[in-house]
């Protein structure tokens, strides 16, 4: 499927990955509708960071994923849906799991039902590498067992299974994507890399949780490109696919790298508040990306150090986006 001139809906479009995906779709000539969570400030999030001109316009619709009538109306006459809208904070999911059930499960159900009603031609469901839990084997293949080690990951597993059931039961043309950890400009300090960078730049110590877990970090523009490539391949309908670099780094090593790149003299300290429950902590995440590479030709373009430097520069230019040193969940 070629996305130029297609009518494309992106849910969660105001967010970190969503805004970069919208920007990528606009560059390809897609007609983009951005679904933004309704709020009294009419805040469109990071969509405001995208340069606009006569040929580069977004149709912004404010609605809640839990409102089926609104979702149904917005999905009318759409060729493609990228479903990124979700509650994503793992620490927040420990405190308020019902919120995650409402948005990540019921919201996904509403998208699937609306897509079925309107005969949408392609639905890309954004999942997460967190569905694997601490893996039995590394690198992690798509066939690995799924483990709900947090309420967040459990709801994403449920959302995946709903999407799978709509494909098998109704022939809905879905693709499930499991991106590994994403970073880059516009990410909030609820994520580890902005948390480390902001403290390295502006504090005399860096407070972290467990430094031993490893993660497979991917620059956000590479993830956006990967989502597009997955959507374009008809043979991936009904499939699950990882997007990741196949490389891992521990949180402790990451902190040291950021200290070096920022020229910081901050000391690294563990803060108990930031630790996950022991059985909920995922100790390793590293993608087997062979399916993605073989099926789409995608490989990451941005090496880790270059991506970190771009992220550091963006944070330096936009310090007001962050509550520096505050543990945000």
> Model confidence over 208-260: pLDDT tens digits?
999 999 999 999 999 999 999 999 999 999 999 999 999 999 999 999 999 99
Q: In CATH, which superfamily holds the domain spanning 188-215+247-285+302-321? A: UDP-galactose 4-epimerase, domain 1 (3.90.25.10)
The CATH 3.40.50.720 domain(s) of the chain lie at 7-182+219-243
Would you state the structure tokens that stand for residue 145, as one six-digit string? 């067992």
> Does residue 294 surpass a pLDDT of 60?
yes
Selected catalytic residue, list 68, 92, 152, 327:
152
According to the model, what pLDDT value does residue 198 have?
Answer: 96
Residues 37-41 have a mean pLDDT of 85
Whole-angstrom CA distances from 168 to 109, 137, 144, 173 are: 15, 28, 20, 9
Dist CA 284 CA 185 (whole Å): 24
CATH 3.90.25.10 placement within the chain = 188-215+247-285+302-321
pLDDT tens-digit map of 94-147: 999 999 999 999 999 999 999 999 999 999 999 999 999 999 999 999 999 999
Instruction: Please state, rounded to an integer, the average pLDDT across all residues of the chain.
Output: 96
pTM for the structure as a whole: 0.96
pLDDT band per the 50, 70, 90 thresholds, residue 327: confident
- Listed residue (115, 38, 54, 56) closest to 82, CA to CA: 115
54 has pLDDT over 60? no
How buried is residue 13: exposed, middle or buried, by Cβ count under 10 Å (0-12/13-18/19+)?
Answer: buried
Residue 92 appears among annotated catalytic residues? no
Q: Which fold has domain 7-182+219-243?
A: Rossmann fold (3.40.50)
Number of Cα atoms under 13 Å in the Cβ half of residue 165 = 10
CA angle 187, 191, 197 (to 5 degrees): 80
pLDDT at 83: 98
């Amino acid at each position: 499927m070629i996305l130029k001139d297609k009518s494309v809906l992106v849910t969660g479009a105001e967010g970190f990955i969503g805004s970069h995906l919208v920007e990528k779709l606009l560059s390809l000539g897609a007609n983009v509708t951005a679904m933004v969570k309704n709020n009294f400030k009419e805040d469109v999030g990071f969509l405001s960071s995208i340069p606009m001109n006569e040929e580069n316009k977004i149709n912004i619709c404010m609605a809640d994923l839990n409102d089926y009538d609104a979702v149904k109306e917005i999905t009318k006459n759409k060729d493609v849906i990228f479903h990124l809208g979700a509650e994503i904070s793992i620490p927040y999911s420990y405190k308020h799991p019902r919120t995650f059930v409402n948005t990540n499960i019921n919201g996904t159900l509403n998208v699937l039902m609306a897509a079925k009603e309107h005969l949408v031609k392609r639905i890309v469901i954004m999942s997460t590498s967190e569905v694997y839990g601490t893996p039995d084997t590394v690198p992690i293949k798509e066939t690995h067992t799924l483990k709900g080690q947090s309420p967040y990951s459990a709801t994403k597993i449920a959302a995946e299974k709903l999407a799978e059931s709509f494909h098998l039961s109704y022939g809905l043309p879905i693709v499930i994507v499991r991106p590994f950890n994403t970073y880059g400009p516009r990410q909030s300090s609820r994520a580890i890399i902005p948390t480390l960078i902001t403290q390295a730049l502006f504090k005399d110590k860096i407070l972290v949780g467990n430094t031993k877990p490893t993660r497979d970090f991917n620059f956000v523009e590479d993830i956006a490109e990967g989502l597009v490539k997955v959507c374009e391949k008809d043979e991936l309908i009904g499939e699950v696919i990882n997007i990741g670099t196949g490389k891992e780094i521990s949180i402790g090593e990451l902190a040291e790298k950021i200290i070096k790149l920022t020229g910081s003299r901050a000391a690294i300290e563990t803060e108990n508040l930031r630790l996950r429950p022991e059985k909920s902590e995922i100790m390793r995440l590293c993608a087997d990306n062979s399916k993605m590479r073989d099926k789409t030709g995608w490989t990451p373009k941005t090496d880790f150090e270059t991506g970190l430097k771009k992220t550091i520069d963006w944070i330096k230019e936009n310090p007001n986006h962050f509550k520096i040193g505050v543990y945000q969940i």
